[in-house]
């Protein structure tokens, strides 16, 4: 029993150092997807479209993206990217996502054009992240 607890402790220490594995990341993403789908009444069709590179979606889907980015605290009150929060969370990503996430966060730092509309702002930001590297896109 004692050694089991020790292993558990060790495992959680390792996770906090090397970050989540892919399965944990997918689970965390799914949680936000479900919560934001419910909250915004966006359709899963629109969410799937965005994941496949078709960003021709309605305003509800843009508000879904705001809900998603906001739940990771990635969007500032003035609707710009919260770069510091993004950098802090980078280390928690599975290793194979980190370089791309770093590069795309830098590239999309000023992607928001519609600063006065939070849903459109979040959409512009997420869209930039997608086209920066579609293979490594992981937002909900």
Judged by the rule CB under 6 A, the positions of this chain that interact with ligand NAG are 76, 78, 80
Enumerate residues 6+ apart whose C-beta is below 8 A from 123: 55, 57, 61, 62, 65, 66
Minimal distance, residue 30 CB to ligand NAG, in Å:
29
Helix (H), strand (E) at residue 132:
helix 118-132
Dist CA 123 CA 15 (whole Å):
31
Specify the residue, 78 or 103, whose C-beta has the smaller distance to ligand NAG.
78
Specify the residue, 37 or 128, whose C-beta has the smaller distance to ligand NAG.
128
Dist CA 72 CA 67 (whole Å):
9
Specify the residue, 76 or 100, whose C-beta has the smaller distance to ligand NAG.
76
Minimal distance, residue 107 CB to ligand NAG, in Å:
17
Specify the residue, 44 or 78, whose C-beta has the smaller distance to ligand NAG.
78
Minimal distance, residue 104 CB to ligand NAG, in Å:
19
Minimal distance, residue 116 CB to ligand NAG, in Å:
11
């Amino acid at each position: 029993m004692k050694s089991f607890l020790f292993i558990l402790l060790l495992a959680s220490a390792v996770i906090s150092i090397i970050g989540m594995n892919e399965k944990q990341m997918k689970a965390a993403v799914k949680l936000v997807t479900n919560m934001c789908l419910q909250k915004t009444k966006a359709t899963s069709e629109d969410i799937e479209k965005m994941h496949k590179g078709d960003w021709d979606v309605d305003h509800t889907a843009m508000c879904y993206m705001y809900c998603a980015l906001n739940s990771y605290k990635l969007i500032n009150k003035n609707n710009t990217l919260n770069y510091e929060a993004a950098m802090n969370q980078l280390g928690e990503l599975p290793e194979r996502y980190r370089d791309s996430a770093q590069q795309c966060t830098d590239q999309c730092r000023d992607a928001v054009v519609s600063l006065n509309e939070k849903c459109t702002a979040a959409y512009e930001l997420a869209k930039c992240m997608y086209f920066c590297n579609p293979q490594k896109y992981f937002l909900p």
